[in-house]
Amino acid sequence: MPKILVCIKQALDVAELKIDSATRRPIIVGVPRKISDFDKNALEEAVRLKEKVGGEVVVITVGPEEAKMALREALAMGADRAYHLRDPSFEGSDTLAVSHILAEAIKKVGEFDLILCGEASIDSFTAQVGPRLAERLNIPQITYVRKLDLKGDTVVAERSLEDCYETVKAKMPVLITVTGEINEPRIPALMAIMKASKKEIIVWTAQDLNIPKEKVGEAGSAIQVTEVLAPKVERKRIVIKAETVEELAETLAKALIKEGVVGR
Amino acid sequence: MSEHGGVWVFSENKDLMLELLGKGSELANKLQAELAAVLLGYNVKDQANELIAYGANKVYVVDHPLLKGLYAEPYTSALTSLVKRYKPEIILMGSTKRGKELASRLATRLETGCVPDCTRLWVDEKGVLLMDRVVYGGNAVATAVCRVKPRIATVPPRVFERLEREERKGEVIEVDVEIEEPRTEILEAKEIEAAKVKLEEAKVIVACGRGVEKKEDTRILEELAEILGGQVGYTRPLCEDRKWFTEWIGLSGHKVKPALYIGCGISGVIQHIAGIRDSQIIVGINKDPEAPIFEVADYIVVGDLYEVVPALSAALKKLLTSG
């Protein structure tokens, strides 16, 4: 029976993000956080596999105190155990450093067959942590998976690429990143939420994982973000109004012809 | 030659490789560095001269049966060996899905950073490479630097221009390196039927969102697109939730820049807007006067797409044929 690890990120809910119009800087403070969408798909897939073939689902996250909420939700969705990798030195880690933290924790968790991640996070969308983690653990990866099957000690996965759907086979252990197409994540029932609140969340710090400070956080990151600004919006914002829809259509059509964007 | 280790480009996608050479040559000139292309594959040697014609000063070729088809392990091992031997400072890689996972693995093996999906790359007066990418679901652009060499950036298709093809001089260097065996096996590849004209190249795009109630109703948008000589595009919910289509416009799908984009029944979530931001003129048609698409629109039409779209088709047909 497979042991499945799922890596999740408590991401900024980008749909709730506002921009300071004077500075064009995003206002991060107060923006709600949630399990990143595709990570939820990864979690759902893990729970479905467990329901089908048995095994265990272990969920892992790197994040501050409040990331505990994401783990609680994951437990309510059906994960059996949760690990919270939390340390002040982890803050400001890029994908190089985060993949290091996750890899060290996974080595400590022990044997596993499958690691599931989302294809990318909704806030930073780098799509790097999955493949970087596979590299660190020296296992193969199958990314952008929309269909997943286990057959004995192998996985068969269908990838959604730009030009084709590619069916790929690999021996476990293997890391899989999933797309939103793979499933519809469940909404946990009240009973499941109640039961989950009794499950233990194991907290590991940098010391527990023997991770030196210079390997994580800003010190251990290769990428330094120097500026984050909203793009300038310079649009005309002309409202087309008319008595009848025919007049309205004609006004718009004429405007578009005048812009030189339609016709010859 | 300067002491700079040089700028390298790699993509398994031939068109994208030429675009990377275009950008790479600009960066290399600025840094007074060499521009090299990395050519990996099996029986690919004869493609090297073409890369020189598009700007490469050098082409490193690894020609090996294990490099037939892009698998992460053999490609990562070949690139790692090349990087360790020749020490480039900057590597631009193609941001295809295959290219992105390769870049992530390579960057990890080299213990360095990688900035994915760069929309702008430039060198400041101190010679530092700056990389822009879209973050927060399209809400913002982050500028980043990489403190470790080699600095790796991935670049999506059609962001940068290729150079004119010219007879240029360059050196082809065949390299023997150890190559790892792939640990995955491709059993089957089903081609996804591509649209006749790529959305990215369309001059006019009529896009539809959740405001369209039935799949058959997209016909009225097709009619409008046809009159305008354009293409119909879709939002992610029509593809992922309703499963009507497979390819959408947006941050995670096609990023388009037509002369005219008409969004019909599209609320305009930020992820969709991120895919249409570079359009020359944006028209929004939506029943909801509060729809966010109106904030980025040049022309705002508050109305029912089922009335407005056919009327617009009729008006355009009349004006375009009479004129």
Indicate yes or no: CB of B187 within 8 angstroms of CB of A253.
Answer: no
What length is written for chain A? 264
Residue A199 pLDDT: 92
B89 phi-psi bin (left φ>0, alpha ψ -120 to 50, beta other): alpha
Residues 6+ apart with CB under 8 A from B186: A166, A167, A168, B69
Calculate the average pLDDT of chain B: 94
Residues of A in Cβ contact (< 8 Å) with B113? 94-96, 221-223
Residue B217 pLDDT: 95
Across residues A175-179, what is the average pLDDT?
A: 98
Distances in whole angstroms, Cα of residue B289 to Cα of each of A242, A243, B221: 15, 17, 21
Domain map (residue ranges) of chain A: 3-215, 234-264
* Pick among A224, A252, A254, A259 to test the B interface (most B CBs inside 10 A): A252
Per-residue confidence at A15, pLDDT binned at 50, 70, 90? confident
Indicate yes or no: CB of A132 within 8 angstroms of CB of B299.
Answer: no
Indicate yes or no: CB of B144 within 8 angstroms of CB of A223.
Answer: yes
Contact A113, A57 (CB under 8 A): no
Nearest residue of chain B to residue A236 (CA atoms): B298
Which of 182-211 (A) contact B at CB < 8 A?
none
Residue B197 pLDDT: 63
> Per the structure block, which two tokens stand in for A197?
């609140």
The pLDDT of residue A39 is above 80 = yes
The pLDDT of residue A124 is above 80 = yes
Residue B139 pLDDT: 84
Per-residue confidence at B323, pLDDT binned at 50, 70, 90? low
* Residue B100 vs residue B194, higher pLDDT: B100
Q: Which one-letter DSSP state was computed for residue A58?
A: E
Instruction: For A184-241, write each residue's pLDDT tens digit.
Output: 999 999 999 999 999 989 999 999 999 999 999 999 999 999 999 998 778 999 999 9
Give all strands of the β-sheet with A238-239 in edge-to-edge order: A238-239, B299-302, B281-286, B260-264, B204-208, B231-234
The pLDDT of residue B315 is above 80 = yes
Residue B113 pLDDT: 98
* Pick among B261, B288, B298, B313 to test the A interface (most A CBs inside 10 A): B298
From B130, B146, B280, residue closest to A222, measured CB to CB: B146
Q: What percent of chain A has pLDDT over 70?
A: 100
Residue B137 pLDDT: 84
Q: Which one-letter DSSP state was computed for residue A207?
A: T
The span from the CA of B321 to the CA of A56, in Å, is 67
Indicate yes or no: CB of A249 within 8 angstroms of CB of B311.
Answer: yes
Instruction: For B213-239, write each residue's pLDDT tens digit.
Output: 999 999 999 999 999 999 999 999 999
Across residues A75-90, what is the average pLDDT?
A: 97
pTM: 0.87
Residues of A in Cβ contact (< 8 Å) with B260? 256, 259, 261-262
Calculate the average pLDDT of chain A: 95
Residue B1 pLDDT: 45
The pLDDT of residue A163 is above 90 = no
Indicate yes or no: CB of B107 within 8 angstroms of CB of A181.
Answer: no
Indicate yes or no: CB of A165 within 8 angstroms of CB of B301.
Answer: no
Residue B196 pLDDT: 54
Torsion angle of the four alpha carbons A78, A84, A85, A87, in this order, in degrees rounded to the nearest 10: 160
H-helix or E-strand spanning residue B271: helix B270-276
Indicate yes or no: CB of A123 within 8 angstroms of CB of B302.
Answer: no
The pLDDT of residue A250 is above 90 = yes
Per-residue confidence at B4, pLDDT binned at 50, 70, 90? confident
What ipTM, to 2 d.p.?
0.92
Q: How far is B32 from chain A (nearest CA, A)?
A: 24
Q: What residue ranges define each of the domains in chain B, with the CATH number in brackets? A: 7-174 (3.40.50.620), 199-322 (3.40.50.1220)
Indicate yes or no: CB of B315 within 8 angstroms of CB of A249.
Answer: yes
- Count the alpha carbons within 13 Å of B283 in the hemisphere toward its beta carbon: 29
Rg over alpha carbons for chain A, rounded to the nearest Å, is 23
The pLDDT of residue A6 is above 80 = yes
What is the CATH code for A3-215?
3.40.50.620
DSSP H stretches of helix in chain A: 37-53, 68-77, 95-109, 129-137, 190-196, 245-259
* Residue B111 vs residue A16, higher pLDDT: B111
The pLDDT of residue B167 is above 60 = yes
Count of other CB atoms within 10 angstroms of residue A140: 22
Instruction: For A136-162, write each residue's pLDDT tens digit.
Output: 999 999 999 999 999 999 999 999 998
Indicate yes or no: CB of B142 within 8 angstroms of CB of A227.
Answer: yes
The pLDDT of residue B3 is above 80 = no
Q: How far is A149 from chain B (nearest CA, A)?
A: 14
Comparing A218-227, A228-237, B110-119, B173-182, which segment has the lowest mean pLDDT? Answer: A228-237
* Pick among B108, B130, B149, B318 to test the A interface (most A CBs inside 10 A): B108
The span from the CA of A73 to the CA of A37, in Å, is 13
Indicate yes or no: CB of A168 within 8 angstroms of CB of B147.
Answer: no
Instruction: For B36-87, write each residue's pLDDT tens digit.
Output: 999 999 999 999 999 999 999 999 999 999 999 899 999 999 999 999 999 9
Per-residue confidence at B251, pLDDT binned at 50, 70, 90? confident
Torsion angle of the four alpha carbons B40, B42, B46, B52, in this order, in degrees rounded to the nearest 10: -10
- Count the alpha carbons within 13 Å of A8 in the hemisphere toward its beta carbon: 36
Residues of A in Cβ contact (< 8 Å) with B271? 14
Assign B20 to helix, strand or coil: helix
Indicate yes or no: CB of A125 within 8 angstroms of CB of B311.
Answer: no
